[in-house]
Chains A and B, each alone.
With several copies, the nearest count.
Chain A
Amino acid sequence: MKLVKVYVTLKKSVLDAQGEAIKSAINTMGYDKVADVHMGKYFELSFADDYNAMEKDVDAICDELLANPNIETYRYEIAEAE
């Protein structure tokens, strides 16, 4: 069993409406040291087995589904599932 952790974030040039709203909420709550907030998506994919083409598949899943390369970037880590 492998666990793939995928992080999808908006490209820097893309408006992060959620991040902005959350930042201003944090500041209003009195935490004024927070200078910037970005929000992204986090996925955990479990693979039944390890296999050769796994990384290739994860890339494809990210490109075709989890992220839109026009606005988002992604990175991932592969770990042993507990």
Chain B
Amino acid sequence: MTEPTAKQIKDEKIYQQWGLTDSEYELISQKILKRLPNYTETGLYSVMWSEHCSYKNSKKVLRKMPNKSPRVLAGPGEDAGILDIGDDQAVVFKAESHNHPSAVEPYQGAATGVGGIIRDIFSMGATPIALLDSLKFGPLKNGQTKHLVNEVVAGIGGYGNCIGLPTVGGEVSFEDCYEHNPLVNAMCVGLLNKTEFKHGTASGDNNLIIYVGAKTGRDGIHGATFASDEFTDTKNKQRSAVQVGNPFIEKLLMDACVEIIEKHSEWVLGIQDMGAAGLVSSTAEMASKAGSGLVLNLDKVPQRETKMSAYEMMLSESQERMVLCIKPDYLEEVLNFFRDYELDAVVIGRVTTDGQYKIYHQNNLVTDIPVDSLTEDVPEYDRQETEPQRMIDDKDYRFIPEITSLEETWQEMLQRPNIASKKHFYQTYDSQVKANTLVRPGGDAGVVRIRGTKKALAMTNDSNSKYTYLNPFIGGQIAVMEAARNIVATGGEPIGVTDCLNFGNPEDPEAFYELDKSVEGISSACELIKTPVISGNVSLYNEYNEVAIYPSPMIGMVGLIDDIDKITTIGFKKADDLIYLIGQTQDDFNGSELQMQKTGAIKGDLRPLDLQTEKFNQDLIKTAIAQKLIKSCHDLSEGGLAVALSESAFDNQLGFEIKTTLTSAQMFSETQSRFLVTIAAEDQVKFETLLQTDFELLGQVTTEPEFVVTTTDEKVSIDGRQAETNWKEAIPCLMK
């Protein structure tokens, strides 16, 4: 294979195939280098200046998000964000999307998504303690989708189970728009046993750059490169743009990296994982952050395949690899340390002071460019935005459902895939390994204790793209608040947020509007409850045949539980406990699951979210939990009160008898800011004096699994056992 010359790249505009625009190429050749970049160099710019690495389309928007709080030790810009949780401990977390790889190779795409996010956590020196996953697919109608779902779920479980991290929460939802563009987002949470950490930097003249982990192959190299046959040999078909994971190696790498930072901090100056754009992005970012230069010798890079070009090695996204910057004095110690873990570790370069990024391959200098030009000189784009036409058209539309049989609708709603139990999926994930999981999937938030303390961490993944589709700003607010309610209902104090912003093409003004407004909504909600956004990830261009997915921001939130005694779960505990609905219910049916069920589509605007009420209700729940008044607590989300009541009853096979001022339809309204709680009957007076908000005493828990419900329209008695079967079996049945 012969590489095209610099001149060919320019004349034939080969850079365009790699995603660089004419003006970007001009900027590189005329302003930055003042010469034509060669093949390898053009490749480096093309990946480093891609949206994925540079955030050139989204940076301006991302700046809107709050990222400060007294707890923040590290925010966006590092591999993951860090929050102080007291007692010299800190929590580290981040979420990552792997949408495109999962569409192409669902098992490996999902698995390497999990692998990648775990590396982001341990590269901060933190011990990973839990995983979460947020998945969106097309409806479970055809074999292809079921296969895709099976493989994605198997990939997530395969990686997490093997490496030995509990998956304690997540979400799965189904909408038409994801049929050809599934969303696979994974989140990892880690614990740092001190409040200092290693930045991903490479500084200090002559300090060494060490490569650790799996060998480099041709996997994951910018797919577009291989699309053009001219530059590849005849074995093109033998190549693959798909990364394959090896959780076994990652386990060794994880244990080694955590140990080296914990026990031998003085050896290591900086550490970073090789994620997207592998070797180039990790090393260039490390050098650029430190204001240093770098010399790399690619002949030293452990290689799995033969005859790899510099371009291929630099861009490879082979998994399970890390880069360290160390002092030469400790070289022997470091190499021996990794050898003991049976990991490849080699010196591949050193730090310089001239700010240049120099790469040698087979004794040729194949790259010589300013480091900062890869990371700092990327143009930032200010995209146009316009309000989507559907929002203008449907502004005044209000969906008012008619319920002819409460019982029938109730049973049907429990079977809707978006509402039905997701146990079929999450039971394939080990949720208990490490023996620290106190609340497993199935409730509001997952809870993992911090061994040796009274503390625990609550965590959740939330998104409702139906809402963001109808109104990106309000939908963004709701995503944050829903996450917060899940944390609060579990007994936690929300302390921070990570996100995955899954959107369409930013060059489409309507799609950009969705991104921008969603972020504004997220920001305003985070400001209010003081949860800084400390890390996150952007995935744009999610579309198929030019039809974009719903705007789908995913919120990952972590909460601190200062005393494990406060942990509250959704399940009703015993008969005669009193059931309360906290918060006011209105006719919120636009974007609801009921609207989907009745009309097969969603339509109309959302009612503004009353942030003050939201906060008031959350604070109320926190207070009541702190006063030990609450026996069970569940936030209301899709399917409204009817679904929340059912789920709370299923947990311990109990029933309930209630009488409400709501209509039958309102049982399914999705008004925000509400909670369902139970308390012991003797605490009634004490509890009600706390309640300076809208609330309704609905009735009480009963022993028999029977749901006796009186609305303003009718009185029904619903078979709880049947309801539970419907809810539990809906997904296994569809997956058959």
A11-B240, A17-B248 are known contacts. Are A70 and B104 too (CB-CB below 8 A)?
yes
Besides A10-B244, A11-B238, 6 more A-B contacts (Cβ < 8 Å) are: A12-B238, A12-B305, A13-B217, A15-B244, A70-B104, A71-B244
Quick check: B238 and A28 within 8 Å, CB to CB? no
Quick check: B246 and A13 within 8 Å, CB to CB? no
- For the complex of A and B, 4 pairs with smallest distance between CB atoms: A17-B246, A15-B244, A13-B239, A13-B218
Quick check: A15 and B143 within 8 Å, CB to CB? no
B105 / chain A contacts, CB cutoff of 8 Å: 68, 70-71
The complex places the Cα of A72 from the Cα of B305 at a distance, in Å, of 17
Q: Quick check: is B318 within 8 A (CB to CB) of the other chain?
A: yes
Quick check: A70 and B241 within 8 Å, CB to CB? yes
A25-B143, A65-B147 are known contacts. Are A11 and B239 too (CB-CB below 8 A)?
yes
A13 / chain B contacts, CB cutoff of 8 Å: 217-219, 238-240, 305
Those of B25-49 within 8 Å (CB) of chain A: none
Task: Enumerate 11 A-B pairs (CB-CB under 8 Å) in ascending A order.
Answer: A11-B238, A12-B238, A12-B305, A13-B240, A14-B242, A14-B244, A25-B143, A25-B147, A64-B144, A68-B105, A70-B240
A7-43 vs B: 1/0 string, CB under 8 Å? Answer: 0001111110100010001001100000000000000
Quick check: A17 and B244 within 8 Å, CB to CB? yes
Q: Quick check: is B628 within 8 A (CB to CB) of the other chain?
A: no
B219 / chain A contacts, CB cutoff of 8 Å: 13-15
A14 / chain B contacts, CB cutoff of 8 Å: 217, 219, 240, 242, 244
B133-146 vs A: 1/0 string, CB under 8 Å? Answer: 00000000001100
Number of A residues, CB within 8 Å of B: 17
Q: Which residues of B contact A (CB under 8 A)?
A: 104-105, 108, 143-144, 147, 214, 217-219, 235, 237-242, 244-246, 248-249, 304-305, 318-319
The complex places the Cα of A41 from the Cα of B76 at a distance, in Å, of 43
B104 / chain A contacts, CB cutoff of 8 Å: 70
B244 / chain A contacts, CB cutoff of 8 Å: 10, 14-15, 17, 71
* CB of B220, distance to nearest CB on chain A (Å): 10
The complex places the Cα of A15 from the Cα of B303 at a distance, in Å, of 11
The complex places the Cα of A56 from the Cα of B238 at a distance, in Å, of 23
A28 / chain B contacts, CB cutoff of 8 Å: 143
B143 / chain A contacts, CB cutoff of 8 Å: 25, 28-29
Q: Which residues of A contact B (CB under 8 A)?
A: 10-15, 17, 21, 25, 28-29, 64-65, 68, 70-71, 73
Quick check: B242 and A15 within 8 Å, CB to CB? no
* CB of A7, distance to nearest CB on chain B (Å): 16
Quick check: B318 and A15 within 8 Å, CB to CB? yes
The chain A residue sitting closest to B305, CB to CB, is A13
* CB of B237, distance to nearest CB on chain A (Å): 8
The chain A residue sitting closest to B106, CB to CB, is A68
The complex places the Cα of A11 from the Cα of B238 at a distance, in Å, of 6
* CB of A36, distance to nearest CB on chain B (Å): 12
The complex places the Cα of A68 from the Cα of B143 at a distance, in Å, of 15
The complex places the Cα of A70 from the Cα of B242 at a distance, in Å, of 7
* CB of B249, distance to nearest CB on chain A (Å): 7
B235 / chain A contacts, CB cutoff of 8 Å: 12
The complex places the Cα of A10 from the Cα of B108 at a distance, in Å, of 13
A28-B143, A70-B104 are known contacts. Are A17 and B249 too (CB-CB below 8 A)?
yes
Quick check: A71 and B242 within 8 Å, CB to CB? yes
The chain B residue sitting closest to A20, CB to CB, is B246
A73 / chain B contacts, CB cutoff of 8 Å: 237
Cβ contact of A15, chosen from B147, B217, B237, B238, cutoff 8 A: B217
Quick check: B147 and A71 within 8 Å, CB to CB? no
The complex places the Cα of A14 from the Cα of B237 at a distance, in Å, of 12
* CB of A57, distance to nearest CB on chain B (Å): 15
Quick check: B240 and A71 within 8 Å, CB to CB? yes
The complex places the Cα of A17 from the Cα of B242 at a distance, in Å, of 14
The complex places the Cα of A71 from the Cα of B210 at a distance, in Å, of 30
The complex places the Cα of A71 from the Cα of B108 at a distance, in Å, of 10
B249 / chain A contacts, CB cutoff of 8 Å: 17
* CB of B21, distance to nearest CB on chain A (Å): 28
B319 / chain A contacts, CB cutoff of 8 Å: 15
A21 / chain B contacts, CB cutoff of 8 Å: 248
The complex places the Cα of A71 from the Cα of B107 at a distance, in Å, of 11
The complex places the Cα of A76 from the Cα of B244 at a distance, in Å, of 24
Interface centre among B144, B147, B238, B244 (most CB of A within 10 A): B244
* CB of A22, distance to nearest CB on chain B (Å): 11
Quick check: B239 and A15 within 8 Å, CB to CB? no
The complex places the Cα of A25 from the Cα of B265 at a distance, in Å, of 33
* CB of A81, distance to nearest CB on chain B (Å): 16
Interface centre among B143, B245, B305, B318 (most CB of A within 10 A): B143
The complex places the Cα of A77 from the Cα of B147 at a distance, in Å, of 26
Interface centre among B219, B240, B304 (most CB of A within 10 A): B240
The complex places the Cα of A20 from the Cα of B246 at a distance, in Å, of 10
The complex places the Cα of A12 from the Cα of B144 at a distance, in Å, of 26
Quick check: A15 and B246 within 8 Å, CB to CB? yes
The chain B residue sitting closest to A15, CB to CB, is B244
The complex places the Cα of A17 from the Cα of B249 at a distance, in Å, of 9
* CB of B618, distance to nearest CB on chain A (Å): 45
The complex places the Cα of A71 from the Cα of B218 at a distance, in Å, of 12
The chain B residue sitting closest to A65, CB to CB, is B147
The complex places the Cα of A65 from the Cα of B305 at a distance, in Å, of 27
* CB of A30, distance to nearest CB on chain B (Å): 8
The chain A residue sitting closest to B244, CB to CB, is A15
The chain A residue sitting closest to B239, CB to CB, is A13
Quick check: B241 and A15 within 8 Å, CB to CB? no
* CB of A64, distance to nearest CB on chain B (Å): 8
Interface centre among A13, A29, A68, A71 (most CB of B within 10 A): A13
The complex places the Cα of A9 from the Cα of B240 at a distance, in Å, of 13
A12 / chain B contacts, CB cutoff of 8 Å: 235, 238, 305
The complex places the Cα of A28 from the Cα of B108 at a distance, in Å, of 24
The complex places the Cα of A29 from the Cα of B145 at a distance, in Å, of 12
B214 / chain A contacts, CB cutoff of 8 Å: 15
The complex places the Cα of A50 from the Cα of B274 at a distance, in Å, of 40
The complex places the Cα of A65 from the Cα of B218 at a distance, in Å, of 25
The complex places the Cα of A14 from the Cα of B242 at a distance, in Å, of 8
The chain B residue sitting closest to A30, CB to CB, is B143
* CB of B147, distance to nearest CB on chain A (Å): 7
